[in-house]
Structure 1
Amino acid sequence: MTVLPAMLPGQLDLRRLVTTLRRRLRLFGAVAAAVLLATILITLQATPKYTATANVMLDPRKEKVTNVQDVLSGLPADSSTVDTEVEVLKSRHLAERVVTALKLDQDPEFNPDVRAPSGLGAVTAGIKSLFGATAPDQVRLSALEQQKHQERVVDNVLRGLSIKRAGLTYVINVSYESTEAAKAATIANKFAELYLLEQLEAKFEATQQATTWLNDRLAGLRNQVLADEAAVQQYKIANNLLSASGTSLTEAEISNYNQTLAQARAQVAEDEARLNTAKQQLARGSTGEDVGEALDSPVIQQLRAQRSQVSAQVADLAGRYGERHPEMMKAKRQLSDIDAQIKAEIQRIVSNLQAKVQVSRERAGAIGGSLGGAKGTLAANSRAMVGLNELERKAEASRTLYESYLNRYKETSSQQGIEQSDARVVSKAKIPTGQSSPKVPLNLALGLLLALGSGAGAIIVAEMLDAGLATAEDVERRLETSYLGAIPLLSSVAEDSQLSPIDQVVAKPLSSFSEAFRNLRASILYSRLGEPVRIVAVTSSLPGEGKTTTSLCLGRTAALQGAKVIIVDCDLRRRTVNRLLGAEPKLGLLEILSGAATLQQAIAVDEGSGAHILPLAKSAFTPKDVFGTSAMDRLLEDLRSRYDLVILDTAPVLPVADTRVLAPKADTVVFLARWRKTPQHAIEAAFRLLAGTGSHLGGVALTQVDMKQQTKYGYGDPGYYYAEYKKYYVS
C-alpha cells in the first residue's frame, strides 16, 4: 500500500483552500459584490477633476553684476536643497498667499460657507429668511473664528496641491487638481509665481535688514574708535610718555651709568690694591722707601738724597773722629731727623692712599645709587607701557572693526535692487484637456482587486472567529488529543425520520446514525491499548452538548451487539436520562449509595435494547460528596464485575466539580464537543481541570455533525466522503 507523505507545516494545501472557499462561497460573494458595487457607485458619483502642472527649476547659477558677496547666499546645488524647496512649496504660508491673491476664500470649491444651498438646505434657508434670520455672510465673526475659517480654506486648497521632484533633477513639478480645468492651471501657475516672488522678497528683506543693522552698528563703532584714541593720548600725558617709544632717554642714561660705574669700580680696585701693597710692605719691616707711592714722591726723593749725604758724612766722621765725637753725634742726630721725616712722609702717603680708596668707594656708591634710580624709572615706564600698549591695541582693533563694517555697509548698499531668484519657471501650467480623476478603468480594476481581497479577508476573519471544531484534523492539531469520531445530526442523515436519536439506533440499527456509535465504541475500546476498557465517563465542557443522548445511544448500540451494558446517570442536577426515557423511578443511584436500596432494586431494563439503566430518583439524600465516597468505589467495582461496558453519564466539567471527582474512577473519559459550536478555549479549560485529577482522556468526539456541510470541510476528514459511502447504509 502506498502512503502519501504528510503535509509539512506551512506547506500550501490547495485542496484545503478550495474546500474553504466552497464552504464560505456565499460570504465571499456577498462581500466582494458589496465592495465592487460600492467602488462603481463611488466612481460614477465622483466629481470630475482636472490636473495642471507647472515646472519650476532651481538654478544656483546667476549673473554676477558686482563682485560683492551677497547678504543672503544662493541655494547650494545638492539633493537636500531640492527636497527642502519642495517642502517650502507645500507650506501653509505660500498657500495663504495664493488664497489671498486669487480670492479663493470666495470660491465655493474651497469655502463651503459660500456654496448655494440645495435641497433641504435651500428650504431651511428660505424658512430662516422668512423669520428674519441673518444670513451667514452677515454674521460678525470673532478673530478666532475668522482664523479657523481661513485655516479651513487653506486646508481645502492644500488638498489639491501636489509637489514632486522630477527624478534626481533640479526640476520640481507643481501640480494642482480642481473641478475646473482653467482654475487648476491658474492656481498651479500662481503657486510657482508666488514661490519665485517669495525668494526675491526674502533676499530683498535680508539685504534691507542688513543695511539698517550695519548703519546702526557703524555709529556705535565710530564713537568707540574716537573714545579709544582719546584714551591713548590721555594715558601718554598722565605717564610722561612723550615719544612713541617712551623710554629712549632713560635707557641711554642707564647705559652711561653702567659705564661710569664700571670705571669707578675699577678705580676702587686699583686704589685698594695700592693701599694693600703698601700695608703689606710695611708689615714686612720695610722702611717705606720702596713703597710704590714713596718712590714716585719728590719729597721722599729729596729726603733720600739728604740722607745719602748725611750718611756719607757720618761714615767720614766715624773714620776720622770716632763715635763719640761731637760732630759725629751731630751727624747721627741729623741722620735720625731725616729718617723720621721719611717715615712721616711715608705715613702721610699711606694716609693719602686710604683717603683715595674711601673717595673711590663713595663715588662708586653714588654712581650705583643713580643707576638704581634710573632703573626704577625704567621699570615705572615699562609698567606704564603695558597699559599704553593695551590701549593702543584696543584702539587699533576698534578701528579695524569699524573699517570692516564700513566696507561691508558699502557693499550691502550696492546690492539693493539687483537681487536675483534662485529658481525660474521652465514651463507654465496649461489648461488640461482631459479629466485626471476619476479614472474609471483604473478604479474598476482596483475595485475588483479590492473586492477579491475583501472577500478573502472576510473568509479569513470568519475562519478565525470560528472557534469551534469541525474536523478530525481540528481536534488532533488544535487540541493535541485523539479524535474518537463524529456523531451525526440525525436530520442530516435521516431527513424523513420521525424518531428521536435514542430510538433511531434501535429502530434502524444498520443506519449511518447507528454506525457512528459503533465506530465510537470501537475508538473507545482501543483508546487504551493493552488494557481493558469497561468503565467509560462521558462528559463535556458545557451543558447541551449531547452527553446523555450519546450515552444512551452508545449503550443501546453496544447492547444490541450483545454486550452487557449499564448506563449510570451521574448528573445530579439535571437527571436527563429520566427525561429522555420518559420515566420517573422511585429508586436510583443515591438510594444505593445511601444503603436505602440494592442494585437489583434500582436497575431499570431498556426494553428496546436490553441495556440496563441506573437512574437518579427524586431523593432527599444529597450528601456533599457523592462520588468521592467508598460506597461509590464499591458500586463501580461491583458494576465492573457484572457488565462488559459501564457508561457514566456525567455533568459538564466547567460548571460543577462532580465530574472531576468521578473521572479518575473511570477507565477512560470520552469528551464531547458540539460541532462548530463549542469554543476551543472552553474545551482547553476543561482539559486543564481534568489534567489535575489523574484521569485518562481517551479523546474527543464531535456531536451534532451536519454531514451535508461536513463534506465542505476537507478531504482529510471521514465526513468528507459521506456522499460516497452513505448509500452503503440501510436507511
Structure 2
Amino acid sequence: MLNRQSGPQLTGADTEAQTGSGDVGQTQLDLRRIQAVFRRRMPLFFASVLLALVVTAIITLRATPMFTATANLIIDRQQQQVVDTQAVLSGLPADSSTVDTEVEVLRSRQLAERVVDTLNLTQDPEFNSRLAPPGPIESVIDGVSVFLGAAAPDAAREQLSAEAAALEKERVVDVVLDRLSIRRAGLTYVMNVSFTSEDPAKAARIANTFADRYMLEQLEAKFDATRQANTWLNSRLAELRVEVQGAEAAVAQYRATNNLLSASGSTLTEQEISTYNQQLATVRAQQAEAEARLRTARAQLARGSTGDDVGEALGSIVVQRLREQRATVSREVADLSGRYGPNHPDMVRAQRQLVDIDAQIQAEIQRIISNLEAQAQVARERTGSMAGSLGAARGTLAANNAAAVRLNELERNAESVRALYESFLGRFQETSSQEGIQESDARIVSRAKVPTRQSAPNVPLNLMLGLVLGIGAGLAAVVLAELLDSGLTTSEEVELRIGLPALGAVPVMSSVADAVDRDLTPVDYVVAKPLSAFTEALRSLRASILYSRLGSATKVVALTSALPAEGKTTTAVCLTRVSAQAGAKVLIIDCDLRRRNVNRLLGIEPTVGLVEVLNGSVKLDQALIHDAPSGAWVLPLASGGFTPKDVFGSAAMDNLLADVRKKFDLVILDTAPTLAVSDTRILSAKADVTVFLARWRKTPEKAILAALKTLDQAGAHVSGVALTQVDMVAQAKYGYGDAGYYYSSYKKYYAA
C-alpha cells in the first residue's frame, strides 16, 4: 500500500510559534508566492503588455483622424415681452429636470433626421457606407463578381427601392447619432452640442445645424400651437356668433311679442308711466294753481271788491289799458269840473266816457273770473284723464313684469353667450397678434468653430488604455498559464497536490554547471564534479530515500515514473554512482526490457544480462559489469534480452533479489514507466521502497495520480516523489520556502 507519510513532526515550541504567527506567516507566504508567480511569468506578462501596446499603437496610427466641434446653447430664463398677452405655448421653466429633458430632445432621432435632410448627409460617403470607396476586401469581392458576370457593383448601388432608401437613411441617422454628443455643463442651464467628423469644417457645420434646428423646432412648435389655437378659436367664434345672434333674436322677438320694447335701458311702458307720473304731477299743480286763483278771485269779490284787485285783472293788459284810459278821462273830468261845472256838455261827455270805461273794466274782470273758472275746470279734467292713463299704464306694466321673468332668462342666456363670445374674440385677437413674434426658449451662446486639433484618436490616452489593457491581459495570461500549468514545481506542491513526501529535486545539469562543464553528460558529471550542486542534489535524494522508511532496512529501491522521458534512467545511474562514491556497494539493475537506457548512458553493449540470469543460462557474477569510474556494479540487459514472458513475477526474480540483498548494500531497479508497462507494478511490489520521479513542470498531475493509483493497487510502498530536470535558475522564481528558492544564495558554496 502507498505510504503517504506527512512531513517531519513539529515540536511543541514549533507548533506554538506556528499558531501564534500563522496569520502573518500565511499573509507573507501568499504575497511571496504571488511575487514568485509574477517573476517566473514575467516574460509572458511583458510579452502580453508589449503585444497590447503594439496593437493599440497600430490601431491608433491607422485610425482616421476625427475632429470634434462644439456649439453651446442655454435655456434663456429672461424672455422678451413684446406684447402683454399670454402665449399659447408657455416658455420652459428653467429647472434642472427641464434642462435634462431638453438634452434628450437634442439627442432625439427626429431632430437628427431633420439635420440629415437639411445637410443631405445621405449623399455623404462619410455617413453613408454605400457611397464610401470600397476597401481591399470589397474590391476583391466586386472584382470576383464582375469576373463571374454579375451586375456591376456601381449600378447595383445606384438603384435603390423606396424601402432600401428609407433603411439607408435610418443607417445614416444611426451614424450621425453615434457621432453626436450632448452634455449639460454641470448644474448650469448650458448645453454643449458636440459633433465628431473626419472633416473639421463639416463637424462645425453639423454641430451648428443641430443647434439651429433645435431652436427652429422650438419656434415651429410655438407657431404650430398658435396656428392651431387660432384655427380652433376661429371655428369656435363662428359657432358662438351664431349662438349669440340666435339668443339676441329670441330676446328681441319675445320683447316684441310681449310688448316689452325698451329704450335707454327701460321698457316703453316704464317710460310711459314715468312720463304720465311727471305729467300728472304737472297738471295737478296746474289744477291747484287754477283753483287757487279762482278761489282768491271769488273771495275778493265776496268781500265787496269791484275786481280791481284781482290778480289776473291786475296783470291783464286790457284792464291796464282801460285803467290808463280811465285815468286820462278822470283827469279830464277833474279839469272840466273845475272849469265848466257838472252840466257842461264836455263834462257830461267825459263823465259818460268814464262810466263806460268802468263798465268795460267790470266786464273784463267778469270775463277774467269766468276764464279762471274755465281754466280750473280744464285742469280738473286734464288731471282726471292723466290719472286714468297712468292707471292703464300701470296695469300694462304689471302684465309686462310677469312676462319679464322669461325675458330675464332669455337675456341672461344671451348675455352668457355674448360674454363667452367676447372672451373668445379677445383671445383670438391676442393669439393673432402673437403670430410672428414668438421666441425660442433657448439661445446660442457660442456657435461651433472649426476645430484645429483632432479629438480622436487620442494617442496618449490610447497608449495609456493600451497599457492598462496590456497589464490586464498580462495578468490574465499569467493566471491562465498558472491554471493550465498542471505540472509540479515545488516540494510544497508535491505534498499538497499529490499527498506524498517530496524526496528531493534533481536539477537539469545546464542550470547548475559551468559553461565549460556542460559538454559532460550527467552520469559523467557526478564523477568529475563530486562537490558540485548537481551531485549534492543526488546525495540529498539518496539520503531521503534511505531514511524514508524508518525502522526497516532499505536496500532494494525501484525508480519509476508515469510517462517516458522523465529522466528516470539518468537519475538511477547518477544515484548509483553517487551512492558508490559514498563507499556503499551498489548495484543497478536495468529492468526496462524495451529501452535498455542504462546501456546507452554507460556506453556498454553486453552479450548477457538480466534476462539470461533469470533464465539460468548464466550466473549472476558472469552478467555483472563493474562501473570503473564510480565502483558500482551494473546488471544490464543484453541486446536480445526482450522476452514476452513475465520474468519479473517469477520465482527466479525473487531469488535474484534475495541474492543481491546479501551481496550489496543498495540495489537500484531502473524500471519502465508505470502507465506504459505493467512490469513496473510487479517490481515495485518486490522492492523495499519505490521512488516516483516526475519531470519538473512537465508531467501532468493527472498522469502522476493515475500512476500512483496503479502502484497502490499493486501493493507498492511509494516513499515519495522526486522532481527531475529542475531548472534551478527558474526554480528560484517559484514557491517561497522551497530549497530551490534560495539557490542563488547558496550556489557559490559548492566547489567547481
When the two structures are superposed, what TM-score results if normalisation uses the length of structure 2? 0.58
CA gap of 1:572–1:80, structure 2 versus 1, over 3 A, is farther
Query: Secondary structure in 1 aligned to 2:516?
Result: coil
Cα shift at 1:575: 2.2
1:426 CA displacement: 6.5
1:529 corresponds in structure 2 to: 550
1:614 corresponding residue in structure 2: 635
Residue matched to 1:379: none
Residue deviations 1:601-652 (CA, integer Å, cap 9, x gap): 44433333332333333246422x4444555444434443443222121222
The equivalences for 1:201-350 within 5 A come to none
Q: C-alpha displacement at 1:90, in angstroms? A: 3.9
Q: 2:516 aligns with which of 478, 496, 502?
A: 496
Report if aligned partners of 2:142, 2:153 keep a CA contact under 8 Å in 1: no
Give the alignment of 1:140-159 within 5 angstroms: 140-143=159-162, 145-159=164-178
Instruction: State the Cα distance separating 1:540 from its structure 2 match.
Output: 1.5
Asked if 2 retains the 8 angstrom alpha-carbon contact of 1:58 and 1:82, the reply is no
CA distance in 1, matches of 2:449, 2:29: 53
Among candidates 670, 673, 678, match of residue 691 of structure 2? 670
- Partner of residue 610, structure 2: 589
1:554 matches 2:554: no
- How big is each residue's C-alpha offset from its partner over 1:237-292, in whole Å with a ceiling of 9 and x where there is no partner? xxxxxxxxxxxxxxxxxxxxxxxxxxxxxxxxxxxxxxxxxxxxxxxxxxxxxxxx
SS of the equivalent of 1:468 reads coil
In the alignment, the residues of structure 2 paired with residue 85 and residue 534 of structure 1 have an alpha-carbon distance, to the nearest angstrom, of 92
Deviation, structure 1 residue 543: 0.7
| Distance in 2, Cα, partners of 1:461 & 1:58 | 58
Tell me the distance in 2 between the aligned counterparts of 1:134 and 1:611.
Answer: 85
Corresponding letter in the other structure for 1:609: S
Deviation at 1:520, TM superposition (A): 0.7
Kept in 2: contact 1:524–1:698 (CA 8 A): yes
Aligned positions of 1:627-642 closer than 5 A: 627-642=648-663
Pick aligned residue for 2:590 from 569, 575, 580: 569
1:139 aligns with 2:161: no
Residues 88, 226 of structure 2: 8 Å contact kept: no
Which residues of 2 match residues 635-654 of structure 1 at below 5 A? 635-654=656-675
Cα distance in 2 for residues equivalent to 1:507 and 1:194: 92
Closer, same or farther: CA 644–74 of 1 in aligned 2, 3 Å: farther
Q: Secondary structure at the match of 1:496?
A: helix
1:558 aligned counterpart, secondary structure: helix
Q: Give the 3-state SS of the residue equivalent to 2:524 in structure 1.
A: helix
Aligned equivalent of 1:544, options 543, 565, 570: 565
Q: 1:529/1:122 Cα in 2 relative to 1: closer, same or farther (>3 Å)?
A: closer
The equivalent position to 2:196 in structure 1, one of 166, 177, 194, is 177
Separation in 2 of the partners of 1:689 and 1:57?
A: 83
Amino acid at match of 2:644: T
CA offsets, 1:531-550, max 9 Å, x none? 33222221122111111111
Shift of 1:157: 1.4
Report the residue type matching 1:622 in the other structure: P
Partner of 1:102: 119
Matched, 1:111 2:125: no
Give a deviation string over 1:477-517, Cα, whole Å, max 9, x none. Answer: 44443222222222331432343222222343333322221
Q: Distance in 1 between matches of 2:48 and 2:695?
A: 28
Residue of structure 2 in register with 1:468 after alignment: 487
Q: Give 1:301-450 correspondences, 5 Å limit.
A: 424=442, 427=445, 429-431=447-449, 433=451, 435=453, 436-450=455-469
* Cα distance change of structure 1 residues 26 and 138 upon mapping to structure 2, 3 Å threshold: closer
Pairwise mapping of residues 58-137 of structure 1 onto structure 2 (< 5 A)? 89-114=106-131
- Asked whether 1:160 is paired with 2:182, we answer no
**Structure 1 residues 87 and 696, CA gap change in structure 2 (3 angstroms):** farther
Instruction: Please give the secondary structure, in 1, of the residue aligned with 2:515.
Output: coil
Q: Please say if residues 534 and 667 of structure 1, whose CA atoms lie closer than 8 Å, have aligned partners that are also in contact.
A: yes
* Residues in 1 aligned to 2:680 and 2:231: alpha-carbon distance in whole angstroms: 96
Aligned mates of 1:471, 1:580 — CA distance in 2: 28
Amino acid at match of 2:120: K
Q: 1:587 to 1:122 in 2, by over 3 A?
A: closer
Deviates more, 1:683-692 or 1:195-204: 195-204
Which amino acid is the alignment partner of residue 495 of structure 1? A
- Aligned residue for 1:718? 739
Aligned to 2:378: none
Encode CA deviations 1:659-680: one digit per residue, 9 max, x unaligned: 3343333332222222333333
CA distance in 2, matches of 1:728, 1:171: 75
Overall identity of the aligned pairs, in %: 54
Structure 1 residues 97 and 664: alpha-carbon distance in aligned structure 2, compared to 1, 3 A threshold = farther
Partner SS for 1:655: coil
Count matched residues. 535
TM-score by length of 1: 0.59
- Structure 1 residue 50, shift from structure 2 partner: 1.7
Kept in 2, the 8 Å contact 1:75–1:422? The answer is no
Cα distance in 2 between the residues matched to 1:578 and 1:668: 24
Per-residue CA deviations over 1:440-474 (Å, capped at 9, x if unaligned) read 55445445544555555554444444443333344
Which residue of the partner structure matches residue 601 of structure 2? 580
1:39 is displaced (CA, Å) by 4.4
Counterpart of 2:679, as a letter, is D
| Amino acid aligned to 2:601 | L
Distance 1:423-1:710 versus aligned 2 partners, 3 A rule: same
User: How far, CA to CA, are the matches of 1:197 and 1:687 in structure 2?
Assistant: 83
Quote the residue 2:529 is aligned against: 508
Distance 1:118 1:579 in 2: 62
Distance (Å, rounded) in 2 between the aligned partners of 1:208 and 1:655: 95
Match of 1:481 in 2: 500
Distance 1:206 1:653 in 2: 92
Secondary structure of 1:545 counterpart:
coil
Residues 609 and 635, structure 2, Cα contact 8 Å, conserved in 1: yes
Please state how far the C-alpha of 1:521 moved relative to its aligned partner: 0.2
Residues 504 and 91 (structure 1 numbering): CA distance in 2 closer, same or farther, change over 3 Å? same
- The C-alpha deviation readout for 1:657-706, integer Å capped at 9, x for no partner, is 33334333333222222233333343344334444444333222222233
How large is the RMSD of aligned CA atoms in angstroms?
A: 5.2
- Looking at structure 1, the residues matched to 210 and 479 of structure 2 have their Cα atoms a distance apart, in angstroms, of 48
Cα deviations across residues 565-603 of structure 1 (Å, max 9, x unaligned)?
222222232222233233344444344445555544444
The whole-number CA distance in structure 2 between the counterparts of 1:620 and 1:121 is 66
Matched to 2:700, the amino acid is: P
Instruction: Structure 2: give runs of 5+ residues left out of the alignment.
Output: 1-12, 233-420
Query: 2:88, 2:229 within 8 Å by CA — same for their partners in 1?
Result: no
Question: In structure 1, what is the Cα distance between the partners aligned to 2:667 and 2:123?
Answer: 90
Would the alpha carbon gap of residues 708 and 11 (structure 1) be closer, same or farther in structure 2, given more than 3 Å must change? Answer: closer
- Contact 1:52–1:177 (8 Å) recurs in 2: no
Aligned: 1:679 with 2:700: yes
Whole-Å Cα distance in 1 between the matches of residues 91 and 712 of structure 2? 79
* Rounded Cα–Cα distance in structure 1 between residues aligned with 2:223 and 2:654: 105
Cα distance, 1:148 vs structure 2 = 4.7
